Amino acid sequence: MARPLGYLMADYWLTHPTQSDMIVPVPLHPQRRRKRGFNQAALLAKELSERAGLATDATTLVRHRATASQVGLDVEQRKRNVRDAFRCTTDRLADRRVLLIDDVCTTGSTLEACALALREGGVGSVEALTLARAHSKRNWGTFTG
């Protein structure tokens, strides 16, 4: 499903372009990546990249700390769960304008944690694009990255 869903994201981005010059998928921790066998955000980013003509960097931003599943956690628990879980391994993205990609945004906690790590790594600006947005009052939050 990555190709058609990634193309949907690309169609949206092409009609609502941003100033982004680099795509960065939300990373999985290596343990979860091995267990799942793929990173859905990276697959979507690859398809978006091909269609939109933007380069992708799937190695600089890493999830260096394993986190519990976000399912069932409220907004504050989600923020605590992913706090300091991400970091940039190099300054390769310094001054770049990053489009952060994920499959689903529930509260924005993961996107915010990634954006903070990217900004600490020298990224000039971060915007996010997700395939879906959860609309549960219980989990609703505001992304401020």
Task: List the pLDDT tens digit at each of the 145 positions of the chain.
Answer: 888 898 889 888 889 888 899 999 999 998 888 888 899 999 999 999 999 999 999 999 999 988 877 777 788 888 887 899 999 999 999 999 999 999 988 888 999 999 999 999 999 999 999 998 886 555 444 544 4
138 in a structural domain: no
As a whole number of angstroms, the distance between CA 101 and CA 116 comes to 15
Asked, for residue 141, whether it belongs to a domain, the answer is no
Query: Three-state DSSP class for 79?
Result: helix
CATH number of the domain encompassing residue 78: 3.40.50.2020
Model pLDDT, residue 44: 94
Residue 81 lies in a domain: yes
| Domain assignment of residue 140, yes or no | no
Does residue 90 sit within a domain? Answer: yes
Query: Domain total for the chain?
Result: 1
In a domain, 9, yes or no: yes
**Within 13 Å of residue 116, how many CA atoms lie on the same side as its CB?**
15
Q: At 20, phi and psi to the nearest 5?
A: -60, 145
Q: Is 85 left (phi over 0), alpha (psi -120 to 50) or beta?
A: alpha
In-domain check, residue 93: yes
Q: Parallel, antiparallel, or unpaired for β 86-88 and 61-63? A: antiparallel
* Residue 101, domain extent: 2-133
Q: Determine the residue type at 144.
A: T
Q: Is 142 contained in some domain? A: no
